[in-house]
Amino acid sequence: MKKIVLTGGGTAGHVTPNIALIPALKKEGYEIHYIGTYDGMERSMIESLGINYIGISSGKLRRYKSVKNLTDPLRVLKGFGESLKILKRLKPDVVFSKGGFVTVPVVFAAKTCKIPTIIHESDMSPGLANKLCIPKADYVLANFPEALEKLPKNKGILSGTPIREELFEGDREKGLRFCGFSGDKPVLLVVGGSLGASAVNEAVRNILPKLTERFDVVHLCGKGKAKEEYKDVKGYVQFEYVSEEMKDIFKITDIALSRAGANAICELLALRIPNVLIPLSAKASRGDQILNADSFKKQGFSEVLYEEDITEEGLLDIILRTYENRQEYIDNMKNSPQKDAINIIMELIKKLTKSD
């Protein structure tokens, strides 16, 4: 039987593209296994789909100083040993890696076992985990043309990003019911990335009375970031993280205020939702969200507000302006050429599959 191992984790952005591939893999008759960390957020996301999940030990790859930098290499080594054992037992035809630090031992073990490996990079430049994995991979898929330029010529393929099909099948009534909204006001979705974003959360909560005059506001605020004092604010609802309800929330969204994670913005584009992006600052990252956001603004899909420039009036103004001009953004998004990522990736997976 055809077999594939998927891997990726740490944040939802390293898991949802894998999830997007699962229906197509099932349709083609693949037996699917997933390797993630023992206790990362990928575990429940994958187990809830009934996919065989195997946890391994993993260490974070940090660019900054921490005492854990001394113990984490040992965990990565342990993860490598565990991955070797798992791959030797499962003997998959292909390993597909979506990035995140857990994937490093898996991809290295796949190379040792001579199992063909594909990795996918969502951002403009490869993350640290993917950087380490590129020499071991057979193919590297890119979401952005800009990333392709930085990849070895014989390995890089422009695929775009796989988006979960279910996101296109949201139900308005269910979305309104879930949020407790009447449907009379336009809906503003605030989403701070899969882990939440304190800067975005605070800025929005500071102008809530003004926002709720115009919009019903649904706020995906990140784990541990819901605040009791906002529980009863009329026209405002907060969720720390939503899973299957995401599609219904997108369905009722008239405008989004979002971090500029690669998957989030590709979903907004595919669903043609006008948006204002607040990219994660270069101080807290390698700056890819800024590049993502600038590129989307240049193409007329988004407005951008940099974290350092947030003021109460400025934030309200850019949200209102973008909402007033929403049709312009929707038209630009409709005219954007989009890659059929799921099919491109499936063709490559099938090419690398030997057994049947």
Ligand X SMILES: CC(=O)N[C@H]1[C@@H](OP(=O)(O)OP(=O)(O)OC[C@H]2O[C@@H](n3ccc(=O)[nH]c3=O)[C@H](O)[C@@H]2O)O[C@H](CO)[C@@H](O)[C@@H]1O
Annotated binding-site positions: 11-13, 164, 194, 289
Tell me how far, at minimum, the Cβ of 337 lies from ligand X, in Å: 21
- Please tell me the distance from the alpha carbon of residue 59 to that of residue 10, in angstroms, as a whole number: 11
Tell me how far, at minimum, the Cβ of 233 lies from ligand X, in Å: 19
Q: Which is nearer to ligand X, 2 or 18 (CB)?
A: 18
Q: Which is nearer to ligand X, 134 or 264 (CB)?
A: 264
Q: Which residues pair with 238 in a beta bridge?
A: 219
Question: How many CA within 13 A on the CB side of residue 228?
Answer: 0
Q: Are 117 and 138 in contact (CB under 8 A)?
A: yes
Strands 255-258 and 275-277: parallel
Q: Which is nearer to ligand X, 105 or 192 (CB)?
A: 192
Run of H or E residues at 21: helix 16-27
Q: Which is nearer to ligand X, 92 or 194 (CB)?
A: 194
- Please tell me the distance from the alpha carbon of residue 3 to that of residue 101, in angstroms, as a whole number: 23
Q: Which is nearer to ligand X, 175 or 193 (CB)?
A: 193
Tell me how far, at minimum, the Cβ of 143 lies from ligand X, in Å: 8
Question: How many CA within 13 A on the CB side of residue 308?
Answer: 5
- Please tell me the distance from the alpha carbon of residue 310 to that of residue 316, in angstroms, as a whole number: 10
Q: Which of 156, 118, 112 is nearest to 137 (CA)?
A: 118
Angle of the 326-334 helix axis to the 312-324 helix axis, nearest 10: 60
Q: Which is nearer to ligand X, 113 or 310 (CB)?
A: 310
Q: Which is nearer to ligand X, 220 or 318 (CB)?
A: 220
The footprint of ligand X (CB under 6 A) covers 11-13, 16, 122-123, 191, 193-195, 220, 241-242, 246, 261-264, 267, 280, 288-289
Q: Terminal CA-to-CA distance of the chain, rounded, Å?
A: 5
Tell me how far, at minimum, the Cβ of 269 lies from ligand X, in Å: 12
Q: Which of 247, 212, 242, 244 is nearest to 230 (CA)?
A: 212
- Please tell me the distance from the alpha carbon of residue 209 to that of residue 218, in angstroms, as a whole number: 14
State the Rg of the chain over Cα. 20
Annotated binding site for UDP-N-acetyl-alpha-D-glucosamine, which residues? 11-13, 164, 194, 289
